[in-house]
């Protein structure tokens, strides 16, 4: 079926089982300046209900089984700019002692914090995490951990979200803070040299003289004179 704004024709926009609010660009750099293979939010399909948004986002958020979020079992529960929630199983995300890996907590925090930042940014921006810090308070050895990202700052170029990760009993496992840079997604931009840059020589080509420069002697000649030309007076 054809897709319009990321939604298939004939589907009910309120049907969480059939509606996708994210879409991939087909493995190429698209006209919005997004990296090849990027998954993009379909903002038109999202509404004020964070739980409904999560249901719309979830099917394609982890559609790629090789993505980090899929392999770690991260699931989106609520999705909004002000507050987003995700869960992650402890099993499969542990360190050698069998406890939840601190790096896994950071992945969970950055995943849900970046999603919230993207929802704040809107379709004209690209969201890039630039700084994350985390404090690990206690261990977790089983069950699920839940991350709640709350906006601390939402500007036009930067966002900051505080993320609290808790275990099944509601005990705080980790506190993290994520700052994201909101970059303009330039319409029609394709990979290549920056506008106004000077192209370099073709691979294997011999560089020519600078524009306006005077050609020098041939390689190997002493003065650049033709071999049969007479020497000027005074030459020895």
Can you give the CATH number for the domain in which 85 is found?
A: 3.10.129.10
Would you state the structure tokens that stand for residue 168, as one six-digit string?
């099944």
Distance CA(146)–CA(164), nearest Å, equals 8
DSSP 167: -
Number of domains in the chain: 1
Q: Is residue 236 part of a domain?
A: no
Residues 23-67 pLDDT 10s: 333 333 344 455 555 667 788 888 999 999 999 988 877 778 899
In a domain, 199, yes or no: no
* 162, part of any domain: yes
H helices present in the chain, as ranges: 50-61, 68-71, 102-121
Q: Are residues 29 and 35 in contact, defined by beta-carbon separation less than 8 angstroms?
A: yes
Determine, yes or no, domain membership for 119: yes
CA 220, CA 226: separation in Å to the nearest integer?
12
Q: Is residue 52 part of a domain?
A: yes
Q: How far apart are CA 186 and CA 88, in angstroms?
A: 34
d(CA 144, CA 106): 15
Report pLDDT digits (tens) over 66-119: 999 999 999 999 999 999 999 999 999 999 999 999 999 999 999 999 999 999
pTM above 0.85, yes or no: no
Flag whether 216 is in a domain: no
Place 133 in a pLDDT band, splitting at 50, 70 and 90.
very high
DSSP line for 49-65: -HHHHHHHHHHHHT-ST
Q: What are phi and psi of 12, to 5 degrees?
A: -85, 125
| 227 domain-assigned | no
Q: Would you please indicate which residues are annotated as catalytic (active-site) residues? A: 110
Q: Which domain holds residue 105?
A: 3-184
């Amino acid at each position: 079926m054809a897709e319009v704004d990321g939604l298939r024709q004939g589907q009910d926009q309120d049907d969480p089982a059939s509606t996708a609010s994210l879409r991939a660009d087909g493995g190429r750099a698209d006209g919005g300046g997004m990296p090849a293979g990027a998954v993009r939010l379909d903002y038109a399909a999202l509404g004020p209900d964070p739980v409904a948004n999560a249901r719309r986002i979830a099917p394609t958020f982890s559609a790629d089984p090789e993505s980090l979020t899929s392999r770690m079992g991260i699931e989106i529960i609520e999705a909004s700019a002000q507050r987003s929630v995700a869960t992650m199983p402890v099993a499969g995300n542990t360190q050698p002692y069998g406890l939840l890996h601190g790096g896994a907590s950071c992945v969970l925090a950055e995943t849900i914090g970046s999603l919230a930042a993207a929802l704040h940014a809107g379709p004209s921006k690209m969201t890039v995490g630039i700084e994350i810090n985390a404090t690990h308070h206690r261990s977790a050895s089983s069950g699920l951990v839940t991350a709640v990202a709350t906006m601390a700052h939402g500007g036009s170029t930067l966002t900051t979200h505080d993320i609290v990760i808790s275990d099944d009993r509601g005990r705080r496992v980790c506190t993290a803070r994520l700052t994201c840079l909101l970059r303009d997604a330039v319409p029609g931009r394709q990979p290549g040299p920056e506008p106004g840059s000077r192209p370099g020589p073709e691979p294997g080509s011999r560089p020519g003289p600078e524009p306006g420069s005077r050609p020098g002697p041939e390689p190997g000649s002493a003065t650049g004179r033709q071999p049969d030309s007479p020497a000027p007076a005074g030459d020895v």
